[in-house]
Amino acid sequence: MSREQTEPFEHYVDGEWTVGESEGTFESANPATGETLGEFYRATPTDVERAVTAAEEAFEEWRRLSYIDRAEVLWEVYHELRDRTDELGEIVTRECGKEISEGRADVVEAAHMVEWAAGNARHPHGDVVPSEIAAKDAYMRRKPRGVVGCITPWNFPVAIPFWHVAVALVEGNTVVWKPAEQTPYCGQIVAEMMIDAGVPPGVFNVVQGFGDAGNAIVEDERVSTVLFTGSAEVGHKIDEKLGGVPGRDAALEMGGKNAIVVTDEADLDIALHSAVMSSFKTTGQRCVSSERIIVHTDVYDEFKARFVDLAEDVAVGDPLEEDTFMGPVVDESQVEKFGEYNDLAREEGANVLVDREELDDSEIPEGHQDGHWVGPFVYEVDYDPDLRCIHEEVFGPHVALIEYDGDIERAVEIHNDTDYGLAGAVVSEDYRQINYYRDHAEVGLAYGNLPSIGAEVQLPFGGVKKSGKGAPSAREVIEAVTERTAWTLNNSKDIQMAQGLSADITTDEG
């Protein structure tokens, strides 16, 4: 690594490690054990201002490099991610609590995103557009916007930062990044990898801290684009501040109240597998996790019985063990929120089918009593558009079974009855039902006969309605971090205009 591990860990600004303005610190803790993983200095708005200044000053020199030269720096990061997948995957698991295969997958996804971004540097850029005038060349060009602010969540503490950062850097922008306060150690590791790769001073800057630091990034007018993945509440505040501001933009990927539709033509083995993965993987703490399962009346009883059996038995345990399916939630606030929504479901008349909110002592791994442990909570409820429990995001293993009668149109009507529109899935052996869902489900990410669980890096990741604005990943993020210029060049000595517009200049003298 680029320096000895010392604590408290510092911010990385303008090529140097720095304590910053304040000596206030915060800790990162393992959600499975309560063990402290590290202490970190907490950034102030003044620290963010310094980081933005460094990024602004480094921009012109960085943008002058070729795509290939910028990508070569990122290739070094790619190789380190691949070589250290197991090591870094364990760090992810220790800091955010998701089971070890997910920790490794987080690092692999980061590597794939860097590979995509760096590889794209050698692909064609822009579009040649035919002109009406034979003597004219017309084409599209893109150029970097400047300083990009990146604010990322804790549940994918390595993958999502590279969704943002890799593309922004290869496209010629400079970056100020604030990792989630729950996973600063992963942020530290990413920063050290970027330094080891040779990213020049000021091009990539990291400020550790809380919402005030993120807000300072948003409010700094020199930050041309903000890339954000996180809660809808915070994302909408960012959009309110930047929406309509000339010269500034934001790409926002937020949460959802995602659903799976299981039709009368579903293969129930696929439906069950998809539902369990969607609802309980990452302990329900993916932005695409399913909290609603909408099941046709013809298959409802069988699906319910089998789903309940699995939810009662799904393995909750030490996330570092290979046979664990669900680890802890990230912190005590998530435990409390989970409990509050479980109580709300009861108050709204739900029939509780599985209640593992408070695990027995025997279910908690030895030595992990200080962790943040919950199990699945499953209930059935008659559909009612006024029920909060089926409309508000919980971000935990809180799942409603909703029975429907009728055709696919009715299922999709219930599916769409939410302010969110991030992700969803349909399970059916009838291609007409699948295609109806595809065409009418109000989501940015949709799956057929699959879990609602994510997307490969080459696909845009973002939602509609309350779930997002744009997609801060893959090809779509290029739109957010670059400006487009439509360029037309005349190759003739004469000037000729399109649409039949006269280019003749006349005077009073004839």
Residue 284 amino acid letter: G
Q: Rg of the Cα trace of the chain?
A: 25
User: Which 3 state secondary structure label does DSSP give 130?
Assistant: coil
Q: Which helix (H) or strand (E) covers residue 337, if one does? A: helix 332-347
| Residue 363 bears catalytic tag | no
Token duo for residue 17? 């490690």
The whole-angstrom separation of Cα 364 and Cα 472 is: 37
- Two tokens, residue 332: 């005590």
- Give the per-residue SS3 of 279-325: HHHHHHCCCCCEEEEEEEHHHHHHHHHHHHHHHHHCCECCCCCCCCC
Q: Both tokens of residue 331?
A: 């912190």
Sheet holding 482-490, edge to edge: 128-129, 136-144, 482-490
b vs e for 280-304, b when ≥16 Cβ sit within 10 Å of the residue's Cβ? bbbbbbbbbbbbbbbbbeebbeebb
Residues pairing with 380 in the sheet? 351, 401
The residue behind tokens 């004839």 is 510
> DSSP alpha helices (H): ranges in 122-267?
159-170, 184-197, 211-219, 232-242
**In the 8-state DSSP scheme, what is residue 396?**
S
Quote the tokens at residue 336: 């409390």
Both tokens of residue 319?
Answer: 């996330």
Pairing, β 445-448 against β 468-469: unpaired
Q: Of residues 56, 95, 171, 253, which has the active-site annotation?
A: 253
- Give the DSSP H/E element, type plus range, for residue 446: strand 445-448
What is the SS3 assignment for 483? strand
Taken in order 335, 337, 341, 347, is the CA torsion positive or negative? positive
- Residue that has been written with the tokens 């990452």 in this structure: 282
29 vs 52: CA distance, rounded Å: 29
Please confirm whether the linkage preceding 8 is cis (ω < 30° from 0).
yes
Q: How far apart are CA 218 and CA 105, in angstroms?
A: 30
Sort residue 378 into left (φ over 0), alpha (ψ -120 to 50) or beta: beta
For residue 436, what are its two tokens?
């109806």
**Alpha helix positions (H), 220-295:** 232-242, 268-280
Residues assigned a catalytic role: 253
